Structure 1
């Protein structure tokens, strides 16, 4: 199995928040240590207008991290395309791919938080169409050997060529949960990002859908092309475990409040699991080493071969103990 990190950082390290909850430079050092401990990758989330100081410029942070590391793969989970100029984003991603020696895992998505779409003054109803147009322009730009023009619904470009020119585009990842969306990921030739909320039974179903879609295209399935996110915290005892769960629920409440539209029920990502309040915490890897080891075996049995962890509170103890006491078994 492969193991990586998944989360965020805060500009102000004195106010811990969701995800890693560390200052930007602390976050860099955290990931440098992760590489040394044998972690395979790190994925940053993109968020705006929270007031929590979360990472809003992922490619900038990952470029800094690329200069401090040599093997760690550098992921976005996800870059929300409806908010970005596709040509500028294609140029920035190509630059990081080049400087990092081909280590970029570019995860892309449509976004789900009401406050962010409202802040950008972009109707969330346009998310799908904006996503598709942005992605089409990016893929065309990376593959173009000659100048081209684009005149679409949201973007217009005249006689352009994206530089730096890439011989091979970055590894592309995309989040999905329903069967149609999973099949769409496979049809694009992208890798699949699966969320941190689905239990092993649902996880198995989603992986099987992806495997079948890959097979129908005549391609060979690689388990490293599916990433499963999970929260992780190694607790000292039951009291420590329950305190970590309460911190996780506090962070999730704040995310839901920021994401939910005031006049609309439901939504995607965490909102689809929060119909009864909060998503269940039993899928999070929070507990003793023995408990987490058992959960990992269940995930492996369900078909998960590549996990990325939000290490709660940015716990160095959890980072180190997982690498030393659990990772070798898998």
Structure 2
């Protein structure tokens, strides 16, 4: 069965958008997702641009821990090279304490050169740094202390007061397509996390096949590989509303490509978005995402879940540019009119209030 997640990027669309409104909408979405039985609410981490106002997923987890009771709360992802590892392991342990054991960790190495430059981190070292910080997190969160000697990090024996000995590691989801990272996932039974992107189902199937090959090369059984996929979903009956959502998906794709460049063109924190070199027409973005009436979204998701058979479906439902009321209305339609028709695929933790 497939568990269900809500991805919160917390993008700032323009200067007329209030960061407070982004925060309020995110918190309301998380509360609504819990009522609908979502398993995990994910929070992004990005820096220095309007792509996301959230520089710390763990801060959002701590904030939402007090406003929820059942839904698990995850980092999607911790860009590990940007963190001091001994501080990070303490903050992760404390966030798990605040969330009463509901913490889920998504790990990554980062991909934006602009961020690496400003953190004064050599981008070529990011995988090595990621692996070492991963070691430190595992040690601290499972043993309650850290003692580490690596190439990039050296930590003398240090006890963690907020993490008693014997507690297990939170579930790990890892965003990477590097063979050494996927091999480590295979050894530990951790979940590879991939974005569906904007190219449609066939490229996603091909991307999964590459992950399966790396998983098997790392010693894992192909049939046993878990997989988390991220999907753009927007539920609406209105054609104009659907086209606007498709434009927001297109802006997301343009931002993702642009943010891979070292020399960003910006106005303050706002990244200047340019058309993709091979940009398809808007209708292609509409077709490749899950955008439309509830019955259409149900059939499209059934097709994709059947083809990809993920262990986790992560839904990006509020990309920048879609208003607060529209975002919440789409999530409500998804919960009431789409999710119940996917019961053969989805494993939901229904809240007591909804079940009643």
What residue is the counterpart of 1:276 in the other structure?
278
Tell me the distance in 1 between the aligned counterparts of 2:259 and 2:24: 26
**Mean Cα deviation higher: 147-156 or 302-311:** 147-156
State TM-score, norm by structure 1.
Answer: 0.83
Cα deviation, residue 77, structure 1? 1.0
**TM-superposition CA deviations, 1:74-113 (whole Å, max 9, x none):** 0111100001011111111111222222211100000101
Sort the Cα spacing of 1:143 and 1:231 in 2 relative to 1 into closer, same or farther, 3 A: same
**Could you tell me how far 1:219 is from its partner in structure 2?**
10
Deviation per residue, 1:7-26 (Å, 9 max, x gap): 22258997449xx9942233
Unpaired runs of 5+ in structure 2?
265-275, 343-356
1:137: how far off? 1.6
| 3-state DSSP of counterpart to 2:65 | helix
Q: Residues 10 and 16 of structure 1 are in contact (CA less than 8 Å); yes or no, is this contact kept in structure 2? A: no
Counterparts in 2 of 1:104-115, with a 5 A limit? 104-115=103-114
Label 1:85 to 1:52 Cα distance change in 2 as closer, same or farther (>3 A). same
Matches within 5 A, 1:142-157: 142-144=141-143, 149-157=147-155
8 Å Cα contact 2:232/2:315 also seen in 1: yes
**Residues 125 and 43 of structure 1: is their aligned pair in 2 closer, same or farther, counting only changes over 3 Å?**
same
The aligned counterpart of 2:315 is 309
Q: Secondary structure at the match of 1:23?
A: helix
Change over 3 Å in CA distance of 1:174–1:25 after alignment to 2: same
Worse-superposed segment, 311-320 or 55-64: 311-320
- In structure 1, what is the equivalent of residue 259 of structure 2? 258
Unpaired runs of at least 5, structure 1 = 264-273
What SS class does the counterpart of residue 59 from structure 2 fall into? helix
Aligned to 1:189: 189
Structure 1 counterpart of 2:246:
245
Inter-CA distance 37–200: structure 2 relative to 1 (3 Å threshold):
same
CA distance in 2, matches of 1:14, 1:37: 32
Q: Distance in 2 between matches of 1:241 and 1:220?
A: 37
Cα deviation, residue 295, structure 1:
1.2
Matched position secondary structure for 1:231? strand
Q: Which moved more, 1:126-135 or 1:308-317?
A: 308-317
Confirm or deny: 8 A CA contact 1:109 1:175 kept in the other structure.
Answer: yes
SS at match of 2:331: helix
Deviation at 1:31, TM superposition (A): 0.9
Q: Does residue 289 of structure 1 match 2:294?
A: yes
Task: Output the CA distance in 2 between the equivalents of 1:325 and 1:91.
Answer: 41
Structure 2 CA distance, aligned partners of 1:148 and 1:109? 21
Equivalent position SS for 1:106 = strand
Q: How far did residue 45 of structure 1 move?
A: 0.8
Deviation readout 1:172-214 (Å, 9 max, x if unpaired): 1101346665444222321221212164344445556549749
Partners of 1:200 and 1:298 within 8 A in 2:
no
Match of 1:221 among 221, 224, 247: 224
- With normalisation by structure 2, the TM-score equals 0.77
For the 8 Å contact 2:200–2:289, the answer to whether it is kept is no
The equivalent residue for 2:352 is none
Shift of the 151–215 alpha-carbon distance from structure 1 to 2, 3 Å rule, reads closer
Q: Which moved more, 1:309-318 or 1:7-16?
A: 7-16
Secondary structure of the corresponding residue to residue 244 of structure 1: helix
State the Cα distance separating 1:51 from its structure 2 match: 4.4
CA contact (8 A) 1:77 1:108 kept: yes
Return the alpha-carbon distance in structure 1 between the equivalents of residues 162 and 222 of structure 2: 30
Q: Name the residue aligned to 1:269.
A: none
Query: Displacement, 1:150?
Result: 2.3
- Deviations along 1:196-244, one digit per CA (max 9) or x if unpaired, are 216434444555654974996579838xx42210111123233322222
